[in-house]
Amino acid sequence: MIASFLVRRVESLGGFAISTVKSIGSMGIFITQTLKWMVRRPFRFHAAVEQMMEVGVNSFPVVFFTAMFTGMVLALQSFTGFKRFGAESMVGTVVALSMTRELGPVLTALVVTGRAGSSMTASLGTMRVTEQIDALYTLAANPIKHLVVPRVVAGTIMMPLLTIVADFVGIMGGFTVGVLLLSANPVLYLDKTWEFMEYNDIFSGLLKSMVFGFIISIVGCYEGFYTEGGAEGVGSATTRSVVLGFMLIFIANYILTALLFSNSPAGTH
């Protein structure tokens, strides 16, 4: 009795391990295929531009609001905190650095995952369950090239652009709150915003966001591409794609931050 219980435990653990290794493997193959088709002619500019519009236009309003309110709340929070040791003048700096280095890329990535990544999964998943992907194969056309590459290119290019918007809008949100509510001097506030900012802050943020864009679109396409089980399957694939996207973004964010900002004191040891 106990033995059979144990056997079942071990079996399910083994099953889990096998399926995890399998999906990592198939994701790896999927990424390799995508990269291979990305550099093969003919390039499908038209399809890529279409997807860029899709990603950019769909996500823009949400990115805008997210960044604006984040910048605003950041100014408010840091002001209350900094007042305790008389560093109110540093609010602009804090908002600018947190937006460009961290919150701009990460929040944009989360929003884009929810908006564009999920819609990639839903549309590819629908194409899978209605046999449109099989139909592409039968017409001697490669679905990775036709469907996945344009989306991954669009995601990787649009994420940094959306992040630039988020950085700017967030800083402006902080500025608005600082000047209007906290009666900061506008000139001084902006001065402090730029004073400690380095190119590296912005570029590393944009580099991160490019990686996030790649992750979002690869995960979104992968989950959609291998959808099973009809309309219900499309729903669960979409959920899976968002959850997996979020987790990978957080993990990648830590790794990238550790690599990109390794010239900080902690990294010099």
| Shortest distance (Å) from residue 9 CB to other proteins | 21
Q: Confirm or reject binding of residue 135 to other proteins (CB under 8 A).
A: yes
Contact with other proteins (CB under 8 A): which of 23, 58, 126, 200?
Answer: 126
Geometric angle at alpha carbon 202, from 196 and 208, rounded to 5°:
140
The answer to the question of residue 137 lying near other proteins (CB under 8 A) is yes
DSSP per-residue string spanning the chain: -HHHHHHHHHHHHHHHHHHHHHHHHHHHHHHHHHHHHHSSSSP-HHHHHHHHHHHHHHHHHHHHHHHHHHHHHHHHHHHHHHHTTT-GGGHHHHHHHHIIIIIHHHHHHHHHIIIIIHHHHHHHHHHHHTTHHHHHHHTT--HIIIIIHHHHHHHHHHHHHHHHHHHHHHHHHHHHIIIIIS---HHHHHHHHHHT--HHHHHHHHHHHHHHHHHHHHHHHHHHHT--SHHHHHHHHHHHHHHHHHHHHHHHHHHHHHHHTTTSGGG--
Task: Supply the minimum distance, in Å, between the C-beta of residue 262 and other proteins.
Answer: 42
Using CB under 8 A as the binding rule, whether residue 138 contacts other proteins is answered as yes
Residue (51 or 118) nearer to other proteins, CB: 51
Q: For other proteins, what does the binding mask look like between residues 70 and 109, x meaning CB under 8 A?
A: ----------------------------------------
Q: Examine residue 134 and tell whether it contacts other proteins (CB under 8 A).
A: yes
CA distance 183 to 181: 6
Should residue 231 be labelled a site residue for other proteins when binding is judged by CB under 8 A?
Answer: no
Residue 39 near other proteins by CB under 8 A:
no
Chosen residue from 112, 127, 153, 242 binding other proteins by CB under 8 A: 127
Q: How far apart are CA 82 and CA 86, in angstroms?
A: 6
Given the rule CB under 8 A, which of 15-23, 70-78, 125-133, 197-205 is the region that contacts other proteins?
125-133
Note whether 26 binds other proteins by CB under 8 A: no
Decide: is 52 part of the binding site for other proteins (CB under 8 A). no
Of the candidate residues 23, 132, 176, 200, the single one contacting other proteins (CB under 8 A): 132
Site for other proteins (CB under 8 A): how many residues?
13
Span near other proteins by CB under 8 A; candidates 92-100, 126-134, 236-244, 245-253: 126-134
* Least Å from the CB of residue 223 to other proteins: 19
**CB 130, min distance to other proteins, A:** 5
Q: How far apart are CA 189 and CA 1, in angstroms?
A: 71
Query: Which residues of this protein are in contact with other proteins, per CB under 8 A?
Result: 126-127, 130-132, 134-135, 137-142
